[in-house]
Amino acid sequence: MLGSNFVKMNVDGSGMQVVGKVKDLIIDPETCSLTDLVLELNKDVAKQVLGSRLVVGRKKVSVPISAVEKIGDAVILKYTVDQLQGHIQKI
């Protein structure tokens, strides 16, 4: 699969709740391996996961590739939205 196919792909939590979209990929230059996906979270998910009452615009976070369950028409994560908080990093 081409990396460009990932961009704008929907991302769902394990409960099939839409989390957001893939915006970019992070690749380790030393190992030439994909390490993280950069996600643009939906507004409601950003409020829930980032713990903020006010979210202006879309929030980008990175999620490790190890958090991905499978990739098909969408990226499916191993975690529900409630479980994401400990597995993402703000960008």
Query: What is the rounded distance in angstroms from the CA atom of residue 60 to the CA atom of residue 21?
Result: 10
59 with 41: CB under 8 angstroms? yes
* pLDDT digits 0-9 by tens, 39-57: 999 888 888 887 766 556 6
CATH of the domain at 27: 2.30.30.240
Average confidence (pLDDT) over 3-19: 90
Residue 56 has what pLDDT? Answer: 61
Q: How confident is the model at residue 76 (pLDDT cuts 50, 70, 90)?
A: very high
Rounded mean pLDDT, 8-30? 93
Q: Higher confidence at residue 49 or residue 22?
A: 22
Distance, in Å, from the CA atom of 3 to the CA atom of 80, rounded to the nearest integer, reads 25
Domains identified in the chain, total number: 1
Structural domain boundaries, residue 42: 3-90
Q: Which residues contact 69 (CB under 8 A, 6 or more apart)?
A: 14, 76, 77, 78
Task: Measure the N-to-C terminal CA separation of the chain; round to a whole number of Å.
Answer: 25
**Contact yes or no for 54/35 (Cβ under 8 A):** no
